[in-house]
Amino acid sequence: APLGRALAPDGPLDRLMRPGGLIDRLTAPDGVLDRMTAEGGGLDRALAPGGLVDRLLAEDGLLERVLAEEGLADRLLAEDGLLQRLLAEDGIADRLLAEEGIADRLLADGGLIDKLTARHGPLEQLADVADTLNRLTPGLEALAPTIETLREAVTTLSLVVNPLSNIADRIPLPGRRRYSGPRPVAPERVRSERLSRDDDED
């Protein structure tokens, strides 16, 4: 049965709870749980007024919609509903917890969970990035008006400088020759000059 396999020696739960396992790493000093439950951490923000918990429990919030008549909970627990199909013989739970199944591979040494929760692994780095972004947010918000002002100043300067540059190019200055292209010579004039030279030679 799925539960028996989960509780078996060296099964998924055994690997979760052993020293150095997932639970051990999550609850280590300065680990993920330490940072989540720290002052100003994720849990603190979730429980703050207007935070995640307030929004979940609000009138017409997510929890109320889940528990409403014919809502998600009703559909999950209905006869032949999703939960019943998940726990059916040879259903998804059976396949997940089977020997060498997905749970076994996820929780194996060097498996996905092991890599995700390793010291300085992706999960820890993600928590560090989230903390950094939280610290940067007030500064970035304060810079927004300054950035907009700078953008407007650059646009205004461009509108002023471009016409002045065009005017400056037209002012003749000593030592600066204005470039002019080669003067076109009419073909008839060139031909007439050649004929005149030929007559003189004769």
140 and 69 in one domain?
no
Identify the domain boundary among 119, 149, 176. Answer: 119
**Does 179 have pLDDT greater than 60?**
no
pLDDT for the residue 149: 84
Range from 92-96, 121-125, 191-195 carrying the lowest mean pLDDT: 191-195
Determine, yes or no, domain membership for 6. Answer: yes
pLDDT for the residue 171: 64
Given pLDDT bands bounded at 50, 70 and 90, which one contains residue 106?
confident
Q: Per-residue pLDDT averaged across 193-199, rounded?
A: 56
Domain count, the chain: 2
128 and 107 in one domain?
no
Determine, yes or no, domain membership for 201. Answer: no
79 and 61 in one domain?
yes
Question: Environment class of residue 133 by beta-carbon count within 10 Å: exposed (0-12), middle (13-18) or buried (19+)?
Answer: exposed
Whole-angstrom CA distances from 165 to 157, 162, 169, 170 are 12, 5, 6, 9
For residues 47 and 69, give the distance between their C-alpha atoms in angstroms, rounded to a whole number: 28
pLDDT for the residue 201: 56
**Does 74 have pLDDT greater than 80?**
yes
The model's pTM is 0.28
Domain that holds residue 82: 2-119
Query: Which residues have CB under 8 Å from 87's CB, separation 6+?
Result: 2, 93
Please state, rounded to an integer, the average pLDDT across all residues of the chain. Answer: 76
35 and 6 in one domain?
yes
97 and 35 in one domain?
yes
**Does 195 have pLDDT greater than 60?**
no
- Residues 16 and 22 sit within 8 Å (Cβ to Cβ): yes
109 and 125 in one domain?
no
Determine, yes or no, domain membership for 182. Answer: no
Given pLDDT bands bounded at 50, 70 and 90, which one contains residue 197?
low
30 and 83 in one domain?
yes
For residues 149 and 152, give the distance between their C-alpha atoms in angstroms, rounded to a whole number: 5
